Structure 1
Amino acid sequence: MIRTVAETGSTNDDLAALAREGAAEGIWLRAERQTGGKGRQGRTWLSPPGNLYASTIVRLRPGDPPAPTLALVTAVALHEVLAPFAPDATIKWPNDLLIRGAKVAGILLERVDDAVIAGFGVNIAHHPEGLPRPATSLSALAGTAPAPAALLENLARNFSRWLVRWRQEDLARVRAAWLTAAHALGTVLSTPEGEGLFDGLDESGALRLRLADGSIRLVHAGDVFPG
């Protein structure tokens, strides 16, 4: 079920409140505009009309893979939906989407009791300027772009399919799809602890960073950028 509102503070916050009240998995909320959109680590996510701002609820079940691996599921599902409009889009760990090094979409996962709220933001018609890291939009690259409502319909269907695979096939298929869509092995990545080379993901979905001395550092959280 997809519900659309003209304006709200944050679709993630709205669905978090519904999750606490017992709302079922599969509900989607889209806002044409957000006044309090947010990214990871409390960053503000600018939300002018014309872009996609939507969130959904995933109810964790016994036997599910670890909840943090939903970051890979969300990234793979969104990457597939954007591929017709941005065939050169890549995934940056864990679930940002870049086009030629510029961010076009971000995903925020927030835990609420036995639920995870997955929030998707896609720059369709607009993108912010003057940020420390470059951003772009689908319309800036292609001149034309999908309507937010149509993009969400495709995303909701695709995310549902990948959620089933995540549950039924463990993490292996999701991890393989993520690696196919991500930056190449050997890409220089910058982390708060220093630089290294992208060496894939471990079985839990953590980033493998090969350091200059040949050792491997596992990165479970934090900002990572192509060097």
Structure 2
Amino acid sequence: MIETVAEIDSTNAALLARLGRGEVIDEGAWLVADRQTAGRGRAGRVWSDGYGNFMGSTVAQLRATDPLPQSLALVAGLAVHGVVQECAPGLTDCLLKWPNDLLVSGAKLAGILLERHADAVVVGIGVNLSFAPDVPDRATVSLARLGHGTARDVFAERLAAHWQAVLTRWHCGEWPALRQEWLLRAHPVGTQVSVKDPSHGTVSGAFAGIDDNGVALLRLADGSMRAIHAGDLDLVGG
């Protein structure tokens, strides 16, 4: 159920267009591209089209009994973390960063982008398998550079299996357990972070975990707690 195309503007955009035309996209179906000409990440960032990297999207169909859709970013992070550990056994300092990045020793290895259409969420995932793009003000790394070269199609099959496993658990009411698993794989509580808050500018504090809905919590210098619903956390000094 993995459809591969040589070149496309964006796998996320393509699936959103199909949903907009009323097409039914079953869970477990993936669209994977060799190259993207207009890939994107969160906040309009460019999503590298490096050949040999994984660039793909899938769909989660929302049900009335599901947790909040925003938690799917964290669930997807668990799937990516799991498959990276499978492809690169023994890889150390591999941590999830709220809400959508996978870092190795502080350098970005993978990113996730969620976009919603009606009762469907398109989940886009990019992983640097063979090529680490140059990104301004952000360190990047690839599995190949870390000594764990992995073929794109092998990675795709393994990721699809990991994603299906965690998505099934999410649908079946296991979000509390998945939340705890995410915390065990994330930057530790107490890590100094900053976030650009649309209302208050840049806010810095200590990461204090995530709440029951997957919202990031920051403990500020005055001891108060602030919930971060949107934006990207940056590790201070990382």
AA matched with 2:77 = A
- The residue that corresponds to 1:187 in the other structure is 191
Aligned length: 226
- The residue that corresponds to 2:11 in the other structure is 11
- The residue that corresponds to 1:75 in the other structure is 77
2:143 paired with 1:138: yes
1:57-111 residue CA offsets vs partner (Å, 9 max, x unmatched): 1111111111111011100111011013134310000120000000010000000
Which range moves more in the overlay, 202-211 or 20-29?
Answer: 20-29
Q: Alpha carbon RMSD of aligned pairs, Å?
A: 1.1
Alignment partners' CA distance in 2, 1:145 and 1:7: 22
Alignment partners' CA distance in 1, 2:139 and 2:190: 22
Shift of 1:130: 5.0
AA matched with 1:17 = A
2:208 paired with 1:199: yes
Alignment partners' CA distance in 1, 2:83 and 2:40: 22
1:135-176 residue CA offsets vs partner (Å, 9 max, x unmatched): 11111111x411111111111111111011112134201101
Please give the TM-score of this superposition, normalised by the length of structure 1.
0.96
Choose from 125, 130, 137 the match for 2:130.
Answer: 125
AA matched with 2:234 = F
| Equivalent residue runs for 1:92-103 within 5 Å | 92-103=97-108
Alignment partners' CA distance in 2, 1:30 and 1:87: 28
Give 5+ residue unaligned stretches, structure 2: 197-201
Alignment partners' CA distance in 2, 1:130 and 1:29: 25
Alignment partners' CA distance in 1, 2:61 and 2:123: 11
Alignment partners' CA distance in 2, 1:24 and 1:140: 35
Work out whether residues 58 and 116 of structure 1, in 8 Å CA contact, stay in contact via their aligned partners in 2: yes
CA distance 1:9–1:224, shift in 2 (3 Å): same
Alignment partners' CA distance in 2, 1:215 and 1:151: 42
- The residue that corresponds to 2:50 in the other structure is 48
2:166 paired with 1:162: yes
Work out whether residues 165 and 173 of structure 1, in 8 Å CA contact, stay in contact via their aligned partners in 2: no
2:187 paired with 1:178: no
AA matched with 1:171 = W
Alignment partners' CA distance in 2, 1:18 and 1:91: 30
Please give the TM-score of this superposition, normalised by the length of structure 2.
0.92
Work out whether residues 166 and 173 of structure 1, in 8 Å CA contact, stay in contact via their aligned partners in 2: no
Alignment partners' CA distance in 1, 2:135 and 2:53: 18
Give 5+ residue unaligned stretches, structure 1: none
Work out whether residues 12 and 55 of structure 1, in 8 Å CA contact, stay in contact via their aligned partners in 2: yes
Work out whether residues 95 and 107 of structure 1, in 8 Å CA contact, stay in contact via their aligned partners in 2: yes
Choose from 103, 108, 112 the match for 1:107.
Answer: 112
Runs of 4+ in 1 over 6 A off after TM superposition: none
Work out whether residues 190 and 208 of structure 2, in 8 Å CA contact, stay in contact via their aligned partners in 1: yes
AA matched with 1:150 = V
AA matched with 2:61 = R
Choose from 55, 59, 66 the match for 1:64.
Answer: 66
SS of 1:141's equivalent?
coil
Work out whether residues 39 and 46 of structure 2, in 8 Å CA contact, stay in contact via their aligned partners in 1: yes
Which range moves more in the overlay, 79-88 or 64-73?
Answer: 79-88
Work out whether residues 9 and 36 of structure 1, in 8 Å CA contact, stay in contact via their aligned partners in 2: yes
- The residue that corresponds to 1:23 in the other structure is 25
- The residue that corresponds to 1:38 in the other structure is 40
